[in-house]
């Protein structure tokens, strides 16, 4: 059990570290986009990969890392968390035993939703066609900002492919908090990480990264040498439907529509209302999305309504005559004296 605690704590701390790295990277990227276009709304961006290729590259690394995808660092801490969850049958308390696997499912759900979110964030802001002139005129950000982002992106990769170094660095913390630390990782051959035993689970980010790199290069080389390397530019195909306007692209809200419909219908009471004009009318069709936050409706709204009700009732006190005020003050004084007299 102490080993499981050390593993879980290491996973948590490592994730905090990873999060600090890729979140900073993504915020820097968002700042670079804001600086260059003056826009914070994704619906006004698009196509920035052509104008800001380097920012796009590092931002993409941040997106992959935060979506917990191998071979970057977000995946390693997620993987360690899963390994800790798999030790939960050892837990003494039944409540925790049932709760922990459900938390695992929720963690997988949040990782998948994070991936969806960052496909949307990167796809809508950096890919596609510019939706506004500001996005079409964007300039690459300055060298200092780029250097900072490249440093963080490199850290994402290093923590992803050599996680053993970071796990060993966290060992003193877990040692002082739970009494034991995870097994020393730097000594494992091939720089793998082995949380408990090799027969149980192991992961080698470096090898996976090198494998992917080599097999991708082999494929590229083989195809370019042996098959074709010709390339021709042509208008987009899009099933033969010409779309002159960038407004026909998917926007952030249209990208989120399937997910909103699946999860939002219960969690946020999402309702989609389409209004078609009557036949013959030239009025535009309208589409509304109605979202309600249940926490607001059931936790905050009753309090707010209660306060509004009480203040309205107390409002009458504001418009009394001077005699009534004096009477009130006098009554209050008498009441307080009575309380003091009765109080033991």
Partner 1 sequence: MALIRDFALQSAEMLLVLLLSPLLIGFVRKVKARLLRRKGPPLVQPYHDLLRLMHKDVVLAERASWLFRVIPYIIFAGTWVAASLVPTFRSGLLFSWSADLIAIIALLGSARFFLALAGLDVGTSFGGIGSSREVMIASLAEPAMLMIVFTLALVAGSTQLSTMAAFMASGEEGLRVSLGLALLALIMVAIAENARIPIDNPATHLELTMVHEAMVLEYSGRHLALIDLSSELKLLLYVSVIGCLFAPWGIAGPDASPRAIAIGLAAYVAKLAVGGFLLAVFETGIAKMRVFRAPAFLGAALMLGLLGTLLLFVSRSL
Report which DSSP code applies to 307: H
Among 3, 5, 49, 158, binds partner 1 (CB under 8 A): 49
Indicate whether 109 belongs to the interface with partner 1 (CB under 8 A). yes
Stretch that binds partner 1, among 71-79, 268-276, 297-305, 330-338 (CB under 8 A): 71-79
Q: Residue 185 in contact with residue 193, Cβ under 8 Å?
A: yes
Cα dist. 287→45, 251, 272 in Å? Answer: 22, 14, 7
Interaction pattern, residues 165-194, with partner 1; x per rule: CB under 8 A: -------------------------x-x--
Among 5, 60, 270, 289, binds partner 1 (CB under 8 A): 60
Q: Is 23 helix (H, G, I), strand (E, B) or coil?
A: helix
* Distance (Å, whole) CA 45 – CA 109: 28
Question: In the range 72-91, which residues lie near partner 1 by CB under 8 A?
Answer: 75, 78-79, 82-83, 85-86, 89
Question: In the range 257-286, which residues lie near partner 1 by CB under 8 A?
Answer: 257-259, 261-262
Compute how many other C-beta atoms are within 10 angstroms of the C-beta atom of residue 267: 14
Closest to partner 1 by CB, 124 or 146: 124
Indicate whether 164 belongs to the interface with partner 1 (CB under 8 A). no
In sequence order, the 6+-apart residues with CB closer than 8 A to the CB of 155 are 21, 73
In the bound complex, what is the minimum distance in angstroms from residue 101's beta carbon to partner 1? 5
Match 């039944």 to its residue by tokens.
94
* Distance (Å, whole) CA 116 – CA 129: 20
Question: In the range 192-211, which residues lie near partner 1 by CB under 8 A?
Answer: 192, 198-204, 207-208, 211
Indicate whether 105 belongs to the interface with partner 1 (CB under 8 A). yes
Question: In the range 123-142, which residues lie near partner 1 by CB under 8 A?
Answer: 123-124, 127-129
Question: In the range 276-335, which residues lie near partner 1 by CB under 8 A?
Answer: none
Q: Residue 12 in contact with residue 81, Cβ under 8 Å?
A: yes
Largest Cα span, the chain: 104
Closest to partner 1 by CB, 223 or 338: 223
């Amino acid at each position: 059990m102490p080993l499981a605690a050390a593993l879980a704590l290491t996973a948590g701390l490592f994730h905090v570290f990873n999060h600090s790295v890729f979140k900073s990277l993504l915020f820097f990227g968002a700042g670079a986009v804001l600086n260059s276009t003056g826009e914070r709304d994704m619906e006004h961006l698009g196509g920035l990969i052509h104008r800001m290729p380097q920012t796009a590259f590092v931002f993409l690394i941040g997106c992959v890392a935060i979506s917990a995808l191998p071979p970057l660092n977000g995946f390693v801490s997620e993987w360690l968390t899963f390994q800790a969850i798999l030790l939960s049958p050892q837990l003494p308390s039944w409540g925790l035993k049932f709760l922990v696997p459900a938390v695992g499912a929720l963690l997988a759900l949040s990782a998948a939703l994070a991936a969806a979110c960052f496909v949307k964030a990167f796809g809508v802001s950096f890919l596609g066609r510019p939706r506004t002139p500001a996005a079409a005129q964007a300039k690459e950000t300055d060298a200092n900002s780029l250097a900072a982002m490249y440093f963080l992106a490199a850290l994402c990769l290093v923590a992803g492919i050599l996680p053993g170094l970071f796990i060993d660095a966290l060992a003193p913390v877990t040692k002082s908090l739970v009494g034991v630390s995870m097994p020393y990782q730097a000594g494992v051959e091939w720089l793998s990480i082995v949380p408990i035993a090799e027969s149980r689970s192991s992961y080698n980010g470096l090898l996976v990264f090198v494998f992917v790199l080599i097999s991708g290069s082999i494929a590229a080389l083989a195809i370019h040498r042996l098959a074709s390397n010709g390339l021709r530019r042509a208008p987009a195909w899009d099933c033969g439907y010409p779309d002159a306007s960038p407004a026909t692209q998917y926007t952030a809200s249209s990208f989120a529509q399937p997910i909103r419909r699946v999860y939002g219908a219960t969690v946020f009471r999402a309702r989609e209302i389409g209004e078609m004009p009557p036949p013959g009318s030239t009025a535009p069709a309208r589409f509304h999305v109605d979202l309600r936050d249940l926490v607001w409706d059931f936790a905050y709204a009753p309090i707010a309504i209660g306060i509004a009700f009480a203040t309205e009732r107390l409002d009458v006190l504001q418009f009394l005559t001077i005699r009534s005020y004096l009477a009130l003050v006098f009554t209050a004084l008498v009441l307080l004296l009575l309380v003091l007299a009765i109080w033991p």
